[in-house]
Chains A and B, each alone.
Chain A
Amino acid sequence: MRRTFLTSMALSMGLAAGVAQAQEKSLTLCWAAWDPANALTELSRDFTARTGIAMNFEFVPWTSFADRFLNELNSRGKLCDLMIGDSQWLGLAAENGHYVKLNDFFEKEGIDINDFLPATVYNYSTWPKGSPNYWALPAMGDALAWVYRKDWFARPELREAFRKEYGRELAPPRTWDELMEVAKFFTGREIDGKVRYGVAIYTERGSEGITMGVTSALYPWGFRYQDPEQPYRMEGFVNSPEAVEALEAYKALYECCTPPGHSDAYMVANLDAYKSGQVAMQMNWFAFFPGILKDEQVGEVSGFFVNPRQNEEASVLGGQGISVVSYSDKKDLALQYIKWFAQPEVQQKWWALGGYSAHRAVLEAPDFPESAPFAGDFLEAMSNVRDFWQEPEYAELLQAMQRRIHDYVVADKGTAKEALDKLIQDWTEIFEDAGKL
């Protein structure tokens, strides 16, 4: 009896030790709660199978994503071993030591950063911008683009009506002027017994929504954040006549062609408006497009197009790099994950599962443009991406823009020029505080 007892005790202790060891070999990856996060969960099973390192995930909705994880980094929390953080956080994270610098690791493990699309390396990995200092591996390429109701665009009676009104074929818009015309055409139009609207655009106030939306108009008009000859000199650039025109166009689009109550809308609200058949077009991140294709109601009737040009071609950059959090006690394990994730075959599977690889072996494969209905558009968009300020003062700069733009576009306060003038004042104050002006 005593022997049996001792044996069971030894077995239990052994089991407990095994469990403890297994628990020790685990990583927590922090990211936003959205479709690609599910794909990453699926993909990471291969990593666990190969290494025995269990993966835990901390996914937070986009509207509180920056709040939650910037707090985590600023408080030097140990929750996240790996962070897929926004591109704009790089300056802050690098200068304050939140992320591990990956140069030595890349060199030791033979990871060539040039295997990834240059635009993604520049935006997701480097700080100072463009320098060979890498703080992340490009994880998820993304840009802002558009989805439209292919079936409505193909209806003969609608095509005829559009031709009569605008003297051209009803087709996915190639310029912002055309976008406005198509949006106006659909707004208030009855299709299948229901009143429809033109577009669902970003108008969200709390996090980054309206800034992402408005910059998708500002960039094609030729907006620049600063004088290329004199950094942080914004007068005449941020409030240039082109910028004013673009901002007025965005407000006009909001006022004429969005569904009622679309005044605080970001990704999910746009998806809802589109999937419920309220709107003919929606702006959203490429990341959602695989999900839209699979959707039972709108999957088969959806088409995609890149952000329309105006004076130039430009799309708003989304996407993120994956970094190792310097406060993690498991940095070695986290680096193992990055090493695994950088492999071309893993990147290929990442794309197949619905993630957006930035690896050139995937993107430059001859059959890539045909691999999904939006793959060609993705490549086109990624070749012209522009991003918000990536300074360490990113959060302040963003909040200032959210306020000034929402005040003008949604709350109808002042003029576009006044909004941009005030924005320059805010940004100047922020850069003065940071000792950059």
Chain B
Amino acid sequence: MAWLFVAPTLFLLLAINIFPLLWNIYLSFTNYKANAPNRPLRWLGLRNYERLLSNEDIWASMQVTARFVFWSILLQVVLGFALAWLLNRRFRGHGFWTTVIVVPMMLSPAVVGVFWTYLFQPQAGIFNYIVNFFYDFGDFTMIGDPDLAMWAIVLVDTWMWTPFVMLICLAGLRAIPEYLYEAAEVDGASSWRQFWTITVPLVLPFLMLAVLFRGIENFKMFDMVVELTSGGPGSATELASIYLKREAFEKWRTGFSAALAVVLFVTVFGVANIYVKLLNRVKER
């Protein structure tokens, strides 16, 4: 009877998750092209994996992804924590400001990408206007300049997702019992010492959780960056996910892109697992 109840769920899980995963792994060892169904299917062994690991373009896109993930998470953690710390002081109107700050993360990433292209427009965009108000850089272009484009996508992602980190940090800050600070004050601890010995250690598990979520999300980032830069200029912002999409659905190298998808999956899964173990260790302390 129990099997009867779990069977639909198991069936769906197998059909939607497990079968596609296994099928993808199988395809990664073949020369399959989804746009050439008449082409004979050949077993290539590890050829696709050899090719992708020796492909300079893939390594370049992995580096771009790593830079994007690192800088966006760093900025989001610093700003998110700072905002949470400010809002936790419960000043007048803090509820209103909390609502205002979380608005960006409620928008669709594709929409955010599109409207930031207008904000970054060199001649009419408000971003350039504001920057030039403080110092006249002229008609610089954030998304058209290979040196600035990475910072453009980091900036937009930070604008959008800092509120998410802030909310998690705020939950962490509000979970710290007030008596710990009172006891520290009685012991004569300065505010700086209270911050480093009470606030940071107790918020750290929350912060690490936020980093985990944002890390996984940004590793897979696609829509917002496609709308903003299409991975350009050149391949300056071509994240691994964009590279994968182009291989799979524009070049139709299905077998090769299946191998790339497996590598990306193993990378995210592996890193996330190590990170979760670290997170558990921090929580146990």
Closest B residue to A97 by CB, please name it. Answer: B38
Contact assessment for A395 and B250 in the assembled complex, using a CB-CB cutoff below 8 Å: yes
> Which of A95, A97, A205, A408 makes the CB contact (< 8 A) with B231?
A205
- CB neighbours (8 Å) of A403 from chain B are 57, 234-235
Closest chain-A Cβ to B105's Cβ sits at a distance in Å of: 26
Say yes or no: A96-B141 contact (C-beta < 8 A), given A264-B230, A396-B253, A406-B233: no
Binds A, one of B28-36, B153-161, B275-283: B28-36
CB distance from B237 to the nearest CB of A (A): 10
**B122 adjacent to A411 (CB under 8 Å):** no
Q: With A260-B139, A403-B234, A413-B146 as given contacts, are A67 and B250 in contact (CB-CB < 8 Å)?
A: yes
Q: Distance (Å) between the CB of A165 and the closest chain B CB?
A: 24
Q: How far is the CA of A407 from the CA of B246 in the complex (A)?
A: 16
Q: Is the CB of B252 within 8 A of A395?
A: yes
Measured between beta carbons, the chain B residues less than 8 angstroms from A395 are: 35, 250-252
The answer to the question of B143 belonging to the interface, with a C-beta cut-off of 8 Å to chain A, is: yes
Q: Is the CB of B229 within 8 A of A70?
A: no
Q: Contact at A261–B122, with CB atoms within 8 Å?
A: yes
Bound CA–CA A399/B236 (angstroms)? 16
Q: In this complex, which of A204, A408, A413 has the most chain B Cβ atoms within 10 angstroms of its Cβ?
A: A413
Across the interface, A74 reaches (CB within 8 A) one of B123, B235, B252, namely B252
B250 contacts A399, C-beta separation under 8 Å: yes
Q: Which residues of A contact B34 (CB under 8 A)?
A: 74
Interface residue A410 (Cβ < 8 Å from any Cβ of B):
yes
Kindly state the separation between the CA atoms of A67 and B245 in the bound complex, as whole angstroms.
Answer: 11
Contact with A along B16-42 (1 / 0, CB 8 A): 000000000000000100111110000
A96, A399, A406, A411: the one contacting B246 at CB < 8 Å is: A399
Contact status A433-B31, CB under 8 Å: yes
Bound state CA distance, A408 and B146, in angstroms?
11
- Cβ 8 A contact of A205, one of B36, B121, B145, B232: B232
Report the bound CA distance from A96 to B38 in whole Å.
Answer: 6
Instruction: Knowing A95-B38, A410-B144, A413-B146 are in contact, say whether A263-B250 is a contact too (CB < 8 A).
Output: no
A410, B143: Cα distance in complex, Å:
11
Contacts A67-B249, A261-B122 given; does A411 touch B234 at CB 8 Å: yes
Contact A205 B38 (CB under 8 A): no
What B residues does A97 contact at CB under 8 A? Answer: 38
8 A Cβ contacts from A236-262 to B: 259-262
| Contacting residue for B144 out of A96, A206, A262, CB 8 A | A262
The answer to whether A263 and B141 have CB atoms under 8 Å apart is yes
Task: Report the separation of the CA atoms of residues A187 and B232 in the bound assembly, to the nearest whole angstrom.
Answer: 25
Residues on A with beta carbons closer than 8 Å to the beta carbon of B236 = 411
User: Nearest residue in A to B236 (C-beta to C-beta)?
Assistant: A411
Interface pair A264/B234, CB less than 8 Å apart: no
- When distances are taken between beta carbons in the complex, the residues of chain A under 8 Å from B252 are 74, 395-396
B26-63 at interface with A (beta carbon < 8 Å): 31, 34-38, 57
Residues of B contacting A338 with CB < 8 Å?
none
Q: Which residues of B contact A263 (CB under 8 A)?
A: 141, 143-145, 232-233
Given contacts A71-B249, A410-B144, contact A264 B229 (CB under 8 A): yes
A260-B123, A399-B251 as given contacts; A410 in contact with B146, CB under 8 Å: yes
Task: Collect the chain A residues with CB atoms within 8 Å of residue B35's CB.
Answer: 70, 74, 92, 96, 395
The answer to whether A261 touches B144 (Cβ under 8 A) is yes
Instruction: Write out the residue numbers on chain B whose beta carbons fall within 8 Å of the beta carbon of A67.
Output: 249-250
CB distance from A359 to the nearest CB of B (A): 32
Cα-based distance from A262 to B121 in the complex (angstroms): 10
Q: Which of B35, B144, B226 has the most CB of A within 10 A?
A: B35
Q: How far is the CA of A84 from the CA of B15 in the complex (A)?
A: 36
| A412 at the binding interface (Cβ < 8 Å) | yes
Contact across chains for A411 and B235 when beta carbons are under 8 A apart: yes
Residues of B near A369 (CB, < 8 A) are none
Q: Which A residues are CB-close (under 8 A) to B143? A: 261, 263-264
Which 10 pairs, one residue from A and one from B, show the smallest C-beta to C-beta distance?
A411-B234, A263-B144, A407-B234, A260-B139, A260-B122, A261-B122, A205-B232, A206-B230, A396-B251, A411-B146
Spell out A's residues near B (CB within 8 Å).
67, 70-71, 74, 92, 95-97, 204-206, 259-264, 392, 395-396, 399-400, 403, 406-408, 410-413, 433
11 pairs from A and B in contact (CB 8 Å cutoff) = A96-B35, A206-B230, A260-B139, A260-B144, A261-B121, A263-B145, A399-B251, A400-B251, A410-B144, A411-B146, A411-B233
